[in-house]
Amino acid sequence: MRKPKMTALSVEGDTSAHDKFKEILDEEELERELADIPFEELQKARADGSHSVHFRHVRKDLKLGRANKNRPMEISSAVRVGRFREVIQAPKKVVRDPRFESLSGKLDSEGFRKRYSFLYEVELPAEKEKLQKLVKKSKDPNVVEELKNHISWIDKQLKSFSQKHTQSEVLSEHIKKEKEAVKHGKRPYYLKKSEIRERKLIKKYNELKVSGKLDTFIVKRRKKNASKDHRYMPYRRQSDGT
């Protein structure tokens, strides 16, 4: 409870106003003391008929402690809990993303690709084969459509992995050559995106040629380009006589 603001008395020596102000302060002090005294002590004081109880003495007699050193301190339920009590704050949970933490180290893309290459070389092709068998057995059109969508997703993942693998090999070969050139006093040369694409095509061409699949690949690519060109060709207008 806030203390009332003291105001200057209009007449000095006015003992009645001074006594009244002092009485207000005493009542407020008494209220504060009564707030901290257990209800049982107040009941005893009223039962004895004692109206001039020294509440400070009663408050000192109230002993709070532990019955045993291994037990927590017990407080009577009659004691009023303070308004501003200390509450143990729970520690705030800090969300950490390992991708952006310096403690996690620097991402090694090449090492990551090598460690998880089995997913694209073994797991996904095996899953694709299993789904293709289920498509042949299933008669529900909704299930078939769902299986085909999943197969399409696997094809995209395998294609993306193959492209990234080829690009990684092209860049690693170029970096290796440039390091040797720098040792001989030459300035490093950084490939453009167009040059990377060109080298990827050359590498893919050489791989198809070695494996004997070059002719098949060229035939498929010609059919694909022909269908694409045919789609954009204008149709002949039909005359009234035909």
Contacts of 75 (CB under 8 A, 6+ apart): 64
Calculate helix-pair angle for 141-183, 193-211, nearest 10 degrees. Answer: 110
Q: Place 205 in a pLDDT band, splitting at 50, 70 and 90.
A: confident
Contacts of 145 (CB under 8 A, 6+ apart): none
pLDDT in tens, 145-200: 999 999 999 999 998 888 888 888 888 888 888 888 888 888 888 888 888 888 88
Instruction: Give me the count of residues in the chain.
Output: 242
pLDDT in tens, 24-62: 556 666 666 666 666 777 677 666 655 444 544 545 555
| CA distance linking residue 16 with residue 22, whole number of Å | 10
**Mean pLDDT of the chain, nearest integer:** 75
Share of the chain above pLDDT 90, in %: 14
